[in-house]
Amino acid sequence: MDSRPQFRTAAVSTIVATIVAGSFLSRALTSQTLSNQSGTTARIAGAAQAFVSTLDERARAKAVYPTDSAQKTNWSNLPTGIYQRNSLRLGDLNPAQRAAVMKLLATALSAEGYRKVVDIMNGDELLQQRGSAGRGGGGGPRFGLDEYYIAFIGTPSTTAPWMLQFGGHHLAINLTLAGNQASMAPSLPATQPASFTFEGKTVRPLGDENDKAFLLINALDAKQKGQAIIGSRVADLVLGPGQDGKTIQPEGIRASALSAQQQTMLWDIVREWSGIMADAYAEPRFTELKSHLNDTYFAWSGPTTNGSAAYFRIQGPTLVIEYAPQNGVDHIHTIYRDPTNDYGAKIAKR
């Protein structure tokens, strides 16, 4: 008896079954992802609404702005006293309200992202303790935990677009939510000091970013380094505060010219920024960033020995990350942008 027809039938059945199962699995995963995102948005909106409900009318006016408000772009790396943020100051809140703000941040960010934000704020508190600038008065710059500000651009919602804006000296988190979509661009995690002792432990708010980048540049061979290294000093962020809507020509080595291991190292650096927002949003964002491998670049300026001050940039069609040390290694500025989706421009339209 010829067994070929039976084999053919079995093979076709297997292929069809695999396709159908794959399709169901894919749909189930997509559905699960969307469900996670919607659930996260609901939790963030709930935490935001809980905080807003504790505010009196005057405080609410400083915290909640219309969706078209210019407050959206009112953020900076500079401290109070040099830069006026206008929004609601943590130092003007009672302990329960401050706790509600931190609970909101813990809900809106990943565990690692929240840790980074708290470390940056603790570094600034140390500046305040070490420094001479007046706290709560005078004309000079002011530092410390009291000098962080919160605002909502639009009303916290599970469906309509709105933005959570939190920041102060060396920190700007601009998280736009629109239903089950989110964008954390532009955001500015920076730090000074870059390393300090807090509760007996050494804290380096942006230490992983620094170390992973040095690992990658030193994993490149001479030819790759020649492509990656820019032969001039980059003094500061090119696309820092006030530079919305600009797209500079990418430079450096194309990610597609890196080995698989080097690419993994590159994405590991990217995750330090894209992973600041809650995991439910960070994962799809990361998948999207990886889909632009051929058009993503890594550029470096400065020495390649860890412990030196070196600038680097990772740029793709939907990504700009810059890391710019200021006059040494103890003061770091960084920026994270999505040229297509800063302030949620893309997701707010949907």
Partner 1 sequence: MTTGRRLRSDRSLKVVFAVAALVASVTNASAHRLDELLQAARIGIDDGRLHLELDLTPGVALSEAIVADIDRNQDRSFSRDEQDAFVGNVLGALLVMADGRALHLSTDSLSFPAVEVLQRGEGFIRIRAEAALLPATAGQHAIFVRNSFRKDVSVYLANALIPQSDRIAVNAQKRDGPQSELTIEYTVAPARIGATSLWMTAMTIVAMILVLKSAAKTYPHLP
Residues that bind partner 1 (CB under 8 A): 78-79, 81-84, 127-128, 130-134, 138-141, 143, 169, 192, 230-236, 238, 242, 246-249, 251, 326-328, 330-331
Structure tokens that stand for 283 in this block: 């994962």
Minimum CB separation of residue 174 from partner 1 in Å reads 19
Closer CB to partner 1, 250 or 284, in the complex: 250
Q: Which is nearer to partner 1, 208 or 330 (CB)?
A: 330
Give min distance, CB of 250 to partner 1, in A: 8
> Shortest distance, CB of residue 304 to partner 1, whole angstroms?
17
Pair of tokens at residue 308:
């030196």
Cα–Cα distance between 176 and 73 in angstroms, integer? 12
CA 209 centroid distance within chain? 12
Q: What does 15-29 look like in DSSP terms, one character per residue?
A: HHHHHHHHHHHHHHH
Nearer to partner 1 (CB atom), residue 133 or residue 145: 133
CB-nearer residue toward partner 1: 12 or 82: 82
Q: Which of 292, 332, 68, 318 is nearest to 206 (CA)?
A: 332
| Residue 37 C-beta-side C-alpha neighbours within 13 Å | 19
Least Cβ distance, residue 220 to partner 1 (angstroms): 19
Can you tell me the distance from the alpha carbon of 188 to that of 239, in angstroms, rounded to the nearest whole number? 11
The Cα–Cα gap between 249 and 237 comes to 14
- Residue placing its CB nearer to partner 1 in the complex, 100 or 310: 310
